[in-house]
Structure 1
Amino acid sequence: MCTSARTRPQLKPLAAALIAALWSLPALSEDTLTVVGSSGDADGLLAKSTRSATKTDTPILETPQSVSVITRKQMDMQNVHSLNDALRYTPGVAAGQWGGVSAFDQFSIRGFNYGSTGFNDQFLDGLRMNNGVVYGFQQVDPFLLEDISVLRGPASVLYGLASPGGVIAMNSKLPVAQSIRHVELEAGNREYQRGSFDFGGKATDDGRILYRIVGTADTKNGQEYGTSARRWALAPSITFLPDDYNKLTLYARAQRDPRMGAQTSLPVEGTAKYNPNGKLPTDAYPGDPHHNTFSRRQAAVGYSAEHFFNNDWSVLLNGRYSENTSKYHATIFGGLHQDDMRTIDRAQAASDEHFNTINLDNQLHGRFSTGEVDHQLLAGMSWDRFNGHANYAGGAASPLDIYDPDYRNPVYGPLQDYQNNRIMNTQTGLYAQDQLSWQKWRGTFGVRHDWSSQRNTNLMDKSDRSRQRDEATTWRAGINYLFDNGVAPYFTWAQSFQPTNSTDRNGRMFDPSRGELYEAGIKYRPTFMDAFFSIAAFNLTQDKTLATDPRFPQAFVQDGKIRSRGVELEARGQVTEQFSVIGAMTWQDVEYTQYSDRDVVGRRPLRIPSRYGSLWVNWQAPEGTAVSGLGAGVGGRFSNGTKGGTMENQFSTAGYGVMDAEVHYDLGHLLQSLKGGRVQLNVDNLTKRDYVTSCFTYAQGCFWGAGRTVVGKVIWDF
């Protein structure tokens, strides 16, 4: 047994009692209040504020941090079907690292890869979405979302354990007073079909009960030969407004993925590098179409309760219980024969995984003044528990000629268990934040203390148990100045805290890694157009990262340090009556400044680009013309490529550029009886570009980018 922590104080009962006491207090004022609670105020491409960055209703212009909000309108316009799709036009985010693989959301923020196990850096409705250990990743269909916020830079003061690169904060579609009657039908290439609906509004005449129910289902063939994916998701919710001081929202979500396509890679030679047999087609599949089981079941129930004592003080209580079950048994790529450069080794991989999570976040909000300084206070407590079981087995599989595959009569060996673990992770955090306003100055200051515990039991050898307890304090400070013309320069400093899940060659678990950010930037919200522009320069470091043990390559040592510094540009909004834009550009210099192998110092981490950007331009025909109701958009994305292989022996992947397009027509301009109808056509990868998104080692292979997709959609709002 390995432990490296001090005894954690028993704070949860005390905090719970405090919240209960606050809840029971009588209202301090008889003023009529309007109970609200939304993630932002975005009706179009531009969100003016977001709760995700500060957990308060703060304008983005006054937030001393890089924040991008992907609105519902942007997701609809670009017809996104995954989180990777939604993040493609966001600065600082390199999305879609696994190309056409849609079972996982794989991306990097400011040079730090995501997809860690146990604790994840994605949040839904302010609560963490935990990942499993092997293939049990949580995923939310984007049709169920109202918006997505990308917080770039450490966010540990508000969210606890997190990567220094930033976090993704998603917000669900929840009840609103406005009537919603929305239906979509889609069809496209690869036999893609999808139906979706979104209904909501007042359940009672007085508007004291609101409801919403959102659902979607789709079926499609995968990019790889012989693979397919199926999904359905349902998210009902109800809000009670018994009086002007209280609001209670109850919600549930069920999502089933009976088939999830393929998630295996292809040989380096034939994708990223030359192969005398030619380039592999993008639909090449190294597995077995008849031996590919990958399914996932997700379910969650939650609540959000808000009570206003008066116009200045309130409490907000959030909680959610989630379950995730995944099953995987497939044939995967295992290396290319160097003698003929066409035969690949293969192996079986199998995993059954189940976990459940409880996530709580309780907040006290208050406003007061000290002299000429106004304060917006936030104090909170969060608690997360992950309880899971995962096994992993492997076995032999017959080789395959990847250039002329014959999937008949494969030969498989028996499966051998490699891993069978039970995991229990918990995190408790206490945090406080003060947002100060004095004349045109704004300051944001926060502090948080976290206690985390990780327990791992090897069920194949129950004497093999490990436990690690960690605690850390993180700080945040930022300041900005608001000019009358909409310019707001800012500076911020922030820290992060992230436990590790690995051990050294002696079985000892490592200390948490720490991150630190220095960032300066300028935000600009013009007074003469509905648009937003920003530039940010940052220097971000993470110490105590893991590196390969030079004496024992199968294990790690904790002596790595990564530095990421760069510049990000963003532009979005309505620049003229007919044209809107979404633009992003990122330059980042990411390198190891410390590593066990000194030859690695100065090298870029694997699968991280140094330059990437995007631009989307949308046009809407003017009213009163012959083409009224017609609109179109075109976008481009590029990356200068990444590094594959190992840190000691790297190779480069080529840069690429991809174009997307959209055209739509509002049918009400054709016939008044068709008002509320809309037809839309989206094409991703318009020029059918073949490109590699990322590579692992030679034995693990590379991923082709997503090929051309063509989707037509009929939308009806009534």
Structure 2
Amino acid sequence: MHVACLGWLAWAAVLPAAQAQGQRVERQVASYDIPAGPLADALNRFAQQAQVAIVMDAASLKGLQSPGLKGSYTVEEGFSGLLKGSGHAAARTPAGYVLRPQAAPAAGGDAPLPEVRVTADAQSEISGGGYVARRAVTATKTDTPLLEVPQSVSVITAQEVEDKGATTLTDILAQTPGVTVNPYGFDSRAPDWVALRGFDSWYTGSYRDGLIQTVGVTFLGVQTELYGLERIEVLRGPSSVMFGKGDAGGVVNRVSKLPSADAPREINVQLGSFDRRQVAADVGGKLDEDGKLLWRVVGLDLDTGTQERYPNGERMTRKRQYFAPSLRWQISPRTSLVLQAESLRDDASDDVQFITGANGLPTSVKEGDPSYSRIKTDTDAFGYQLEHRFDGGWTLRQKARYAYRSMDKHHIQSSLDTDGVTLLRQARHDRETVNDLAVDTSLAGEVGLGPSRHRLLFGVDYNHSRASWWRNTGAAPSLDMNNPVYGVLIPEPQTPAGNIRLTTTQLGVYAQDQMAFGEAWRLTLGGRYDKVKSDNDDRLNVTRSTQQDEAFSGRIGINYLLGGGWSPYISHSESFLPNVGADVAGRAFTPSRARQDEVGIKYMPADGSVSFSAALFDLIKTAVVSYDPDTFEARQIGRVRSRGLELEAKAALTRRLRMIASFTALDIKVQDSADPSEIGKTPMLTPQRSAALWFDYAADAWLPGLSLGGGARHVGKNWDDAANTGSQPSYTLVDAAIRYETGPWKFALNASNLFDRRYYAGHGYGSWYRGAERSVLLTARYGF
């Protein structure tokens, strides 16, 4: 909590002096050499070199070119030169610049300024030094300012990812309020293991471009290549009104890089700790003279070791190849089509935990073998985003994606013999596949009814997935804990031990009305009806069960726009989550339900330099399946309550200094369960406090192009068991960065856990989970 408070105090102390300093910077003359090219790209380069913030709608600048800038200019002279002939001008505000279209003279007087809007598939309006997003589409599936969304939403921009040197989705989400990542510590496989407000989002909270990504039956989850994303949007709290079946915590929506006239073009190379080697490229452009066809290709090749070694010194490794081409076709002024594809190949060592000794303490022994323990995951996805604008302002949108994911996993399961030194082992070979089709079609438009305005949304979405899992088992040589020998032959397992196919079909119909009453009041109403069919086919034991569930979910929220960028709100939202299976009496499980009440306030002034939000929530999940500890019978009587406070701030404090801060206080308790020992307790491996603080300073007063960054992450204690009899202490990690930009080149040196603090992220289920050690990353980028 102290870390977060320091951020608020620093913000309040620095801002007044910053405004005076910014005025001096704007009057200074500096030399610039910015090549001609896309206008948005030129403006971004100039703003970075001049150390000023600028708010602009990138979508409105598509196709516009800048003549470039070479010579010595003040800030205002530089903007004027770059914008010459574009029909736009940069207006100065107390905290930066805002790009506005210029009025064009017309017969009979001056023409009014055209309205600037961002379409639903466009990038969020980004300002505040590249950290502050002013709009997002995940919460409402419409183009809505975040100030008017009556629910907690965080947006992580590509600039934030780059500045912090994050390499995985969990790296960057760990610094977001209400989010817990990697409960089982460092994982060489880099899965997207995320919990929101204390609820696991592994199975139902993973989305890509607004469409669900279905996971497998056991180990086949979602892996995200962070370099392929434009931004990440985190919607916290029950969200079934927009997304159908899902757990109580919310969703994480990954937004892909797509073609645009101002998309950056770059090649970068990374070298880092544990023999990390990576090369990546993000390129694109126009296929025709008038820019109706735009293309983009994102690619990456990674070969790295990890922090973990076997006792014989052999390091665990991971390899990844990523390829994502896309094409945007502006069929007509009213119709656009985006075609997308993605291919991911991931090959990693698969020994996650170190063995716990007979004394209950962790050892340096791995239960598997470097020649056997391996997990290979493949993903191939194809999809499109279609948009057509009708007369009268109505817009039809359809998104669709088919994905095929597969996993081949060789691993070892072990148990300690009674002698306390012999590890008895079993070899396992798991194979898993998922075929996943998701389609979302919506119609949106605005109507006026008397003094009120209504933004209406009607939609239907469909998801069909088929997950299959096979397991074979076999004998494996035992391992002497005092003298472990690796590299021995482990025969391929031949005995069938599992064969399950789970088929799920969901069809949902939803409607939403975002009402505006005058300039201040906003009322959001939404409702949805879903039907879900689940078919569980156990082909090994020749049993089959089918469930059909239906549910209605709603949301209501009120915002009041106070003026000056402040907006308090209150909301109620709901979700449902189907449960496959039956209790001891043979009754099929019904869906778990969740409901949340949330109050909060958001602050985002018009200049876009600051974003602040605070939220208090009370979230209850009912009809949770729990198990009797003596008979192992399943009973659907569980109830979990999660309450908490979340704070988040992102700001350009001065022309040179930017800040990101977050704080979470979580009070989550099991209120009812078939296991009496956990009633009234906090779920294990769930920290109740977390905070993060990051400052980024442009140090060009010492050396033009130099920037420095640094911050801290704090994670509170978490419990080792359901009865809360033991816990792991809190820990705080420090991160740092130094960057240098000259011409088309950018160099960055990032260090996470700078002081190499050794800690355990958790202890549970008989294992100790080590935290991430210090990691240093050197990146060189060339833009063209």
TM-score by length of 2: 0.81
Task: Please show how residues 416-565 of structure 1 align to structure 2 within 5 Å.
Answer: 416-439=495-518, 440-462=520-542, 464-505=543-584, 508-526=587-605, 530-550=609-629, 552-553=631-632, 555-565=633-643
* Structure 2 residue 313 is the aligned partner of structure 1 residue 229: no
User: CA separation of 1:39/1:516 partners in 2, compared to 1, >3 Å: closer, same or farther?
Assistant: farther
CA contact (8 A) 1:91 1:586 kept: yes
Unaligned runs of 5+ in 2: 1-113, 310-314
Q: Considering fraction of residues, name the structure with more helix.
A: 2
Map of 2:196 onto structure 1: 109
CA–CA distance in structure 2, aligned partners of residues 411 and 302 of structure 1: 41
Tell me, what secondary structure is at the counterpart of 2:454? strand
CA–CA distance in structure 2, aligned partners of residues 628 and 317 of structure 1: 46
1:151 to 221, 224, 235: 235
Map of 1:627 onto structure 2: 703
1:123 to 192, 207, 225: 207
Task: Please show how residues 683-702 of structure 1 align to structure 2 within 5 Å.
Answer: 683-698=751-766, 701-702=767-768
Shift of 1:503: 3.3
Map of 1:9 onto structure 2: none
Shift of 1:324: 0.6
Deviations 1:286-326 (Å, cap 9, x if unpaired)? Answer: 32111112101110110111000035201001101110111
Tell me, what secondary structure is at the counterpart of 1:180? coil
Shift of 1:280: 3.8
Shift of 1:527: 5.2
CA contact (8 A) 1:196 1:215 kept: yes
Which letter does structure 1 place at the counterpart of 2:718? T
* Structure 2 residue 379 is the aligned partner of structure 1 residue 379: no
Deviations 1:370-417 (Å, cap 9, x if unpaired)? Answer: 111111111100000001211123344344345653215366695532
Shift of 1:274: 6.6
* Structure 2 residue 334 is the aligned partner of structure 1 residue 245: yes
* Structure 2 residue 136 is the aligned partner of structure 1 residue 50: yes
1:654 to 707, 711, 729: 729
User: CA separation of 1:539/1:377 partners in 2, compared to 1, >3 Å: closer, same or farther?
Assistant: same
Unaligned runs of 5+ in 1: 1-30, 669-674
CA–CA distance in structure 1, aligned partners of residues 389 and 590 of structure 2: 41
User: CA separation of 1:103/1:183 partners in 2, compared to 1, >3 Å: closer, same or farther?
Assistant: same
CA contact (8 A) 1:95 1:108 kept: yes
Task: Please show how residues 404-415 of structure 1 align to structure 2 within 5 Å.
Answer: 404-409=483-488, 415=494
1:300 to 375, 381, 398: 381
Tell me, what secondary structure is at the counterpart of 2:227? helix
Which letter does structure 1 place at the counterpart of 2:775? T
1:704 to 761, 770, 775: 770
Map of 1:681 onto structure 2: 749
CA–CA distance in structure 1, aligned partners of residues 350 and 514 of structure 2: 47
Deviations 1:47-81 (Å, cap 9, x if unpaired)? Answer: 11001111111111111110000101011112222
* Structure 2 residue 341 is the aligned partner of structure 1 residue 260: no
User: CA separation of 1:269/1:578 partners in 2, compared to 1, >3 Å: closer, same or farther?
Assistant: farther
CA–CA distance in structure 2, aligned partners of residues 149 and 179 of structure 1: 20
1:609 to 687, 705, 720: 687
Tell me, what secondary structure is at the counterpart of 2:126? coil
Shift of 1:461: 3.2
User: CA separation of 1:418/1:654 partners in 2, compared to 1, >3 Å: closer, same or farther?
Assistant: farther
CA–CA distance in structure 1, aligned partners of residues 279 and 452 of structure 2: 52
Map of 1:310 onto structure 2: 391
CA–CA distance in structure 2, aligned partners of residues 650 and 504 of structure 1: 29
Map of 1:195 onto structure 2: 279
CA–CA distance in structure 2, aligned partners of residues 414 and 649 of structure 1: 38
Bigger mean CA deviation after superposition, 501-510 or 205-214: 501-510
CA–CA distance in structure 2, aligned partners of residues 311 and 530 of structure 1: 34
* Structure 2 residue 198 is the aligned partner of structure 1 residue 134: no
2:402 to 321, 332, 341: 321
* Structure 2 residue 430 is the aligned partner of structure 1 residue 351: yes
Bigger mean CA deviation after superposition, 390-399 or 487-496: 390-399
Map of 2:666 onto structure 1: 588
User: CA separation of 1:411/1:357 partners in 2, compared to 1, >3 Å: closer, same or farther?
Assistant: closer
Which letter does structure 2 place at the counterpart of 1:54? T
User: CA separation of 1:649/1:71 partners in 2, compared to 1, >3 Å: closer, same or farther?
Assistant: closer
Map of 2:290 onto structure 1: 206
User: CA separation of 1:414/1:96 partners in 2, compared to 1, >3 Å: closer, same or farther?
Assistant: closer
CA contact (8 A) 1:220 1:229 kept: yes
User: CA separation of 1:77/1:507 partners in 2, compared to 1, >3 Å: closer, same or farther?
Assistant: farther
Tell me, what secondary structure is at the counterpart of 1:485? coil
1:218 to 295, 302, 312: 302
Which letter does structure 2 place at the counterpart of 1:444? T
Deviations 1:182-225 (Å, cap 9, x if unpaired)? Answer: 11100112111001101112221101111111111101112322
User: CA separation of 1:635/1:360 partners in 2, compared to 1, >3 Å: closer, same or farther?
Assistant: same
* Structure 2 residue 717 is the aligned partner of structure 1 residue 641: yes
Shift of 1:676: 1.4
Task: Please show how residues 20-39 of structure 1 align to structure 2 within 5 Å.
Answer: 36=119, 37-39=121-123
Which letter does structure 1 place at the counterpart of 2:403? S
CA–CA distance in structure 2, aligned partners of residues 473 and 436 of structure 1: 22
Tell me, what secondary structure is at the counterpart of 1:711? strand
CA–CA distance in structure 2, aligned partners of residues 478 and 402 of structure 1: 58
Give the alignment's Cα RMSD to 1 decimal. Answer: 2.2
Deviations 1:677-713 (Å, cap 9, x if unpaired)? Answer: 0110111111111222233312xx1321122111101
Shift of 1:577: 1.3
CA contact (8 A) 1:640 1:656 kept: yes
CA–CA distance in structure 1, aligned partners of residues 242 and 492 of structure 2: 49
Shift of 1:655: 1.6
Deviations 1:481-508 (Å, cap 9, x if unpaired)? Answer: 1112211110010000101134323554
Larger radius of gyration: 2
CA–CA distance in structure 2, aligned partners of residues 469 and 519 of structure 1: 31
Which letter does structure 2 place at the counterpart of 1:182? E
